[in-house]
Structures are given as structure tokens and as C-alpha cells.
Amino acid sequence: MDEVKHPKKPFIYYYGIVLVILLLFNFLAMPWLAQRQVQKVDYGTFLDMAEKQELGRVEVQQSENQILFTNKDNTVIYKTGMMPDPDLTQTLKDSGAEFEGEIIEQANPILSFLLTWVLPMVIFVVIGQYMYKRMMKNAGGPNTMMFGKSNAKVYVKSSEGIKFSDVAGEDEAKENLSEIVDYLHNPSKYREIGASMPKGILLVGPPGTGKTMLAKAVAGESNVPFFSMSGSEFVEMFVGLGASKVRDLFKQAKEKAPCIVFIDEIDAIGQKRDGRLGGNDEREQTLNQLLTEMDGFEENIGVVILAATNRPESLDPALTRPGRFDRRVPVELPDLKGREEILKVHAKKVRMDNNVDFSRVARMASGASGAELANIINEAALHAVRDGRHLVTQSDLEESIEVVIAGYQKKNAILTDAEKKIVAYHEIGHALVAAKQTNSAPVQKITIVPRTSGALGYTMQVDEGNHYLMSQEELENKIATLTGGRAAEELVFHSASTGASNDIEQATKLARAMITRYGMSKDFDMVALETVQNQYLGGDTTPACSTETQTEIDKQVIALIRRQHEKAAKILEENRDKLDELAKYLYEKETITGEEFMSILNA
Ligand code: ADP
């Protein structure tokens, strides 16, 4: 889409610079110039010149205690200090000079006037004009010179505008938004029956799921102007500027109606006004203005406001009440089918091998957002180029998923023989525990090639289909699988290594969530002991219980993990010969597939 940008720096900024230059010129350069025209001489020289009748005009400045005088032709001005000389008047009379108490003009009066007044003004105007013209050229319009103008980017329709077909998956969101498109095409249809469109629609979801894309697609489909601004662009250093930007944005939008206004990252201005000390006045004023504007325009004038955020819980309730952002469209992480479609959309942009299995790639990339999937395709294309090939193949895609999960292969990391053996047992430990439990995702690949993320190896498990719910048993199995690596090390080497730190972290997180949030502990029944914040941004939790209960939770987490650790150890002990065989095989091959693993296991 074409984009018209507006300038950032106010005009006054440039005038300020010019003013400072002028002041410096007047205070420093002018006195220096004036000084240069007066020559300082001693009293003897003055007397000599008087005697030789070489004086032109003389001015005796009693108050300054100095005598200013010129030569016969009045071309040079001299200055000397006064001496107690009672015969001074007589001397001057004898010299034939013109003398008086008046001030002698130190320089040509016209020149002096030009230098001190006219020249600065001319410079001021010329530089001002230059700046003005330059800014006009960038701005594209005279109205942008003022403070508090919104610098919303206006997307005008162009041939490459984003359409709904470019946004893969997200069918519910698209269905929801297509009603808006229909409304923008034909507002009267809705007006006649008395239905009113929501004024504001909030797109919420994790980063990279296509919220911005969807907003652009609405504009592209409905063929109307699209104003786009990020929430943070409203927040200025001076209180009140953000509010005036909001006013201006809505004024422009009303003039251009029907149109779409898109505010990205609205949480930057829409956060709850909690009235805490040191609150942000500017942000609150901006929010107030936004609330007022949204109330101010009538329904059905054809302005639809879309906003995106990944922190919906932090928004001010006044913003989300009916009549403002009253419709909320969730834009969630894509499911298996969605991931496959997104991969296909982006695969169109690169040259793909015909027999790429997108469904398999989509299954491997479980939990990836649209942006990550786009990145996987691009990484795969880069990988193909690096290998000097013209087509992107299945293996490029699989390698690039690993890059996204675990980083690049660390080619020059050299493990000692003993370390490599430990890592092989560790990974087979995970895989074996997973394979021997029912309800665990099948193993896809096991590798002990070190990665730049610091992982010395990993076991990739891939679910067959979509997974929306997890049972208590599945969660417990997952914890057991995570402890399997360490359990194998203990069984074989009778010692522990640092390699399990990531497993420990994940297992603890899962176990804690089971007890505090999923109600999977008998003692606490269905009581929420932790609350989740920022659901879409990592999902940090804060405890919501007494410290005594926290102590009890800790005890239960430990007990739960210990049970699973023991279970894993038992599984490995029972399959010790397979463990040795598989670990040896992995040690030699470094990377094995799920099929190889299963065939050895079942042999
Ligand atoms: P958000 O605004 O939700 O953070 P964006 O809309 O900016 O995410 O998406 C970032 C990029 O990710 C897009 O430019 C696009 O390449 C890709 N992407 C995300 N979701 C999708 C999707 N559903 N279909 C196709 N591409 C997507």
C-alpha cells in the first residue's frame, strides 16, 4: 500500500535554532567588529598629533575617562586614556581640530544599522523560508506545521493491498470482520433497519498472529481509506499534545468517512487509570480524549475503529464498555489446519519443491504464531541458498524449524567422548520414557548435535493432530518424560550433570500449574492459587494464597515431580538393554529419526 508520511519535527524547532545563532552573532561578533575599528594609542601620540596639527575631530569623554579622536581625513578613529591636563582645551584649540563633548560615530551609521538590524532579519527570514520549503516538501501539505497534529499514516488503496485471502487461518476473526466490510460497502442497508455497527473493535491475541494484517485486510476488502497509528505515537513529552492528536485524527477520519482508523498497541494509551502517584498525566489525558471522541461521533457515520493489543486485561474498563470498543475479536495462535494454511500462503512467495509435506511441517511447528511460520519459510529459503540449491525442500523446512526452536547448529563445538555419551543417554532417556508411556506424543527426531541456544541435544516429539485439552495423566507423563534424561544419567553413570537444567525448569512449571491453576491436587480442590497475568505475553503468574499455602504447594510440587522421576527411572531400568542399544546407535549417528528409534525399540 502507498503510504503518506507526515513530518516529525515542529516548525518552531528550526526557528529556535536560527534565533540562537542570531543572538550569538549580536553578542559576540558585533562588539568584536566594533572594537576592531578603534585604534588604541598612548597619550604622547595624541599630544604629538595635536602639535603637528594632524587631528580631525576630537571628543573628550569625561565620564569614560577617555579621548576619542580621528586623523585629518576622518578615516581612522583613535582612542587614548585621559591625563590630568589643565591645558588640554588650549592644546586642542592650537591644533586646529574640531573638538566637542559629543560622541563621535564609531562607524558609518548606515553600515552599523545594516549590520545590527537588517542583516540578522534577512538571515532570519531566508533560513526560515528555506526550512519551511524543505519541510513542506516532506510534509505534503501546509496543515502539518502545527503542534498536536496526528501523524497518522494514511494507506490509500493500491494494487497490492492486503486482502482476507492473504490472511490464512483465523476464520472466525475473518467472519467477524467481514460484517464490518459489508457495512462499509453499504451503510444504508444497516441504517434502514435500525441496526448500528459497533464503533470500535478490539483485536486481541498473542504477538505475530496477524492482527495488523487483519486490520489492513478489512481496509483492503472494503476499499476505504485506512488511518493507521500506533498507540505509542500519541504519547508526547508535553501534556495535552497526545489529546490534540486524537482530536485531529478523528477530525480527519470524519471528513474521510467511511473509513477505518487502526490503532496498534492500544495498551500504550489505554491502560487502566489507577490514579497511582506519579501516574502519567499525558497518557491519561490522551485516553480521556479518545473516550470523548468515541462517544462524540454518531453511530452509522461510517467510521470504524479497529485496535490491536496483546494485553487486553490491562485496558481501562471505560474503553471496553459497550458503545466504545464493544466487540472483541480474538486472534489466537493458529491450530494445525491454520498453521498449514499459513505455511502455504507464505510458501507461494518462494520456490518450493513439489513434494513438500506441509501438514508434517505444521505438526512439527506446534505452538508457532503466523509470524514465526513466515519466518520458518524464509529461514528454509535462506538454507536452500546457502546449500546452492534452487528449490526449497522438506529438509530445509525441518532444519529451519529446529533453527527456530533451538538455534543454529554449532559446527565447531567439540564435545569430549564422555560428554557425548552422557548427552546420548540423556536424550534416549527422554525418548524411551515418552515411548513407553501411553498418551505421549510420538518421537519425531533425536539429535545430539549442539545448537547455538546452548542445547547439547534434543528430542522432538510431535503430536498427531490438534490438542486442545490435556488430561492429568498426559501432564504427568510429560513431567515423567522431562525427568527421563536425568533418570538415564543416574541409572548409567550414577551421577547428575548440568544438562537437565531446562528440563527441571519446564517440569517445575508444569507441576506448579497442575496444582495451583488446574485444580489437579486433591488437597486444594478447585481453588485458584495463582492468577495469570499477561495471558498472551508469556503468562507470568502471581500467587493468590497465604504463605502457609505456598509452603504446602511447594511440598506438593516436589512430591509430584519426585513421583514422576521415580516412574521414569523404573521405566528405564526395565528397558536397560534397549536404552544401551539406542544410546550407542545415537552416539554413532548423532541424529536419528523417530522411525529408526521405533524400529530398534520394537526389534
Ligand atoms: P500482530 O499485529 O498480531 O503482532 P502482524 O499482523 O504484524 O502480527 O503479523 C506479522 C507477520 O506475520 C505478517 O506480516 C505475516 O507475514 C505473518 N502472519 C501472521 N499471521 C498470519 C496469517 N494468519 N496469515 C499469513 N501471515 C501471517
- The CA distance from 151 to 234, in Å, is 9
Closest atom of ligand 1 to CA, residue 264 = 2
Q: Given a cut of 60, is residue 143 above it in pLDDT? A: no
State in Å: Cα 207 to ligand 1 middle. 9
* Alpha carbon 470 to its chain's center: 34
Q: How far is CA 305 from each of CA 235, 251, 254, 331, 450, rounded to the nearest angstrom? A: 19, 13, 12, 17, 49
C-alpha span between 432 and 567 (Å, rounded): 12
Is 263 a pocket residue for ligand 1 (Cβ < 6 Å)?
A: no
**Is residue 381 pLDDT above 90, yes or no?**
yes
Is the whole-model pTM more than 0.85?
no
Give the model's confidence band at 489: pLDDT under 50 very low, under 70 low, under 90 confident, else very high: very high
Give the count of beta carbons closer than 10 Å to the beta carbon of residue 580: 13
* Residue pLDDT, tens place only, 198-223: 888 999 988 899 898 888 888 888 88
- Report the greatest alpha carbon distance in the chain: 135
Those residues whose C-beta lies under 8 Å from the C-beta of residue 126, and which sit 6 or more positions away, are none
Report whether residue 169 contacts ligand 1, using a CB cutoff of 6 Å.
Answer: yes
> Which mutation among 213, 335, 537 tests ligand 1's pocket best, with the greatest number of atoms within 8 A of CB?
213
pLDDT, tens digit, for every residue of 155-207? 444 445 788 888 888 888 888 888 888 888 887 888 888 887 788 899 998 88
Active site residues: 427
Correct CATH for 417-602 of 3.30.70.270, 1.10.3720.10, 1.20.58.760, 3.30.420.40: 1.20.58.760
Between the CA of residue 392 and those of 357, 358, 396, 446, what are the distances in Å?
12, 12, 6, 23
Spatial distance between the Cα atoms of 600 and 581, rounded to a whole number of angstroms: 8
Ligand 1 mean position, distance from CA 139 (Å): 30
DSSP 105: P
Residue 222 contacts residue 185 (beta carbons within 8 Å): yes
Atom of ligand 1 nearest to the CA of 331: 3
- Count of CA atoms in the C-beta half-sphere (13 A) of 440: 22
Q: How far is CA 101 from CA 96, 157, 303, 478, in A?
A: 16, 80, 79, 105
Residue 172 CA to ligand 1 center (angstroms) comes to 16
Residue 215 alpha carbon, nearest atom of ligand 1: 6
Q: What's the half-sphere exposure (Cβ side, CA atoms, 13 Å) at 472?
A: 9
Strand partners, 113: none
- Which ligand 1 atom is nearest residue 308's CA? 2
Average pLDDT along the chain: 83
For residues 271 and 317, what is the distance between their CA atoms, to the nearest angstrom? 9
Q: How far lies 301's CA from each of 137, 195, 198, 250, 547, in Å?
A: 33, 13, 11, 12, 55
CATH of domain 336-406: 1.10.8.60
Specify the residue with its C-alpha closest to ligand 1, atom 1: 208
| The residue to which cell 520414557 is assigned | 433
CATH topology of domain 158-272+280-330: Rossmann fold (3.40.50)
Q: Where are the domains of the chain?
A: 38-106, 158-272+280-330, 336-406, 417-602
pLDDT at 380: 92
CATH code 3.30.720.210 for 38-106: yes
Each residue of 312-325: pLDDT tens digit? 888 888 888 888 88
Q: How far is the CA of 400 from the centre of ligand 1 (A)?
A: 18
